[in-house]
Structure 1
Amino acid sequence: MIQTLDVISINIWHIIISLLNLLILFLILKKLLFKPVKKMFAERQAKVDNIYDKANEANEQAQANKQAYEEKLSHSKEEATNILRNAREMAEQSSNEILQEAHNKADLAVKKANAEIASERKKAINEIKNEISEISIDIAEHVVGREIDEKDHTELINDFIENIGD
């Protein structure tokens, strides 16, 4: 029966050796398995984080591009509105300038025509004065029976013309 007790008995040295074996096995497994597995998990986690970061950056870039596009679109609408407004203003200004130039030309033509009319009137009045003076000289020579000198002639004409104007 003593032998049976050996099998059932607790041997401290066996427990210590078993614990040392377990510790050595744990350290070997930790060295060979846990660190590479942790490293692999860390690399995968880094790749996943990198993918999420890139996706977030792409999303932010897309949002920024969308906002820039909308700003450009609104600026282009404003610019188109400004271009149309400027074109209308320029057309109106050009129209006003053309009308002003036409009015100026018309006024100039009227003034020129009035000046020509006044000149023609003076010319006609002078011609009529000359004819009247010739007729008056002829009449005066017949009436008076003598020839009138230049001074008398001028006085008679001026008197006659002043009386005609009244």
Structure 2
Amino acid sequence: MNINLEMIIQATINFFIFYFILYKFVFKKTIAIMDSRKAEVEKSFAKVKEQEDRAILLKEQYDKDVINYKNEGLKLVESYKRKADQVYGEIIEESKKEASNIKDRALKEIAKEKEKARVEIKEEIVDLSLQLSTRILEKEISEDKHRELIDEFIAKVGS
């Protein structure tokens, strides 16, 4: 095997010329395209990371808001419950007072009616006694007749 030194030198020179041409026209543009593509990909990743961080912050804020609204809702419900209990108590107290007033008025009315009935009964007894006395005086009454009038008087008073 013969090694041809001249051919090796020519091949090496051709290789370097070809490499220089490729470097000058292809490699720079390819590297520039690859660098710009890399920059775009890194920019996209940064944007996605930024959006992810923002989404995490929004979710945390949302969770805080949900907890706050829930607590506010519970406080509001508790407040309305206390107000309802207060109104219920006031209504019960007012009903008790009204019932007591009605009872007192009824008792007073009963006492008045009782006194009125007592007065009417007394007046009736007096009237009947006067009528009986008048009859007795008008007639001369025998003992049997007298007993009969008294029984009749008692029967009228009793009914």
1:37-76 aligned within 5 A: 37-76=31-70
**Partner residue of 1:108 out of 102, 105, 109:** 102
Gaps of 5+ in 1: 1-20, 148-166
The ranges of structure 1 where at least 4 consecutive aligned residues each deviate by more than 4 angstroms after the TM superposition are 24-27
Shift of 1:141: 5.4
CA RMSD of aligned residues (A): 2.5
Mapped to 2, the partners of 1:93 and 1:126 lie a distance apart of 48
TM-score by length of 1: 0.64
Shift of 1:103: 1.6
Shift of 1:140: 5.3
Mapped to 1, the partners of 2:21 and 2:126 lie a distance apart of 150
TM-score by length of 2: 0.67
Mapped to 1, the partners of 2:24 and 2:98 lie a distance apart of 105
Residue deviations 1:24-71, cap 9 Å, x none? 864542322111122112212211121111111110111122112212
Gaps of 5+ in 2: 1-15, 140-159
Mapped to 2, the partners of 1:42 and 1:103 lie a distance apart of 89
| Counterpart check, 1:83 vs 2:77 | yes
Aligned twin of 1:31: 25
Shift of 1:100: 0.7
- Partner of 1:91, secondary structure, is helix
Mapped to 2, the partners of 1:42 and 1:116 lie a distance apart of 107
Q: Percent identity?
A: 7
Report how many aligned residue pairs link the two structures: 125
What code does the residue aligned with 1:51 have?
A: F
Shift of 1:105: 1.9
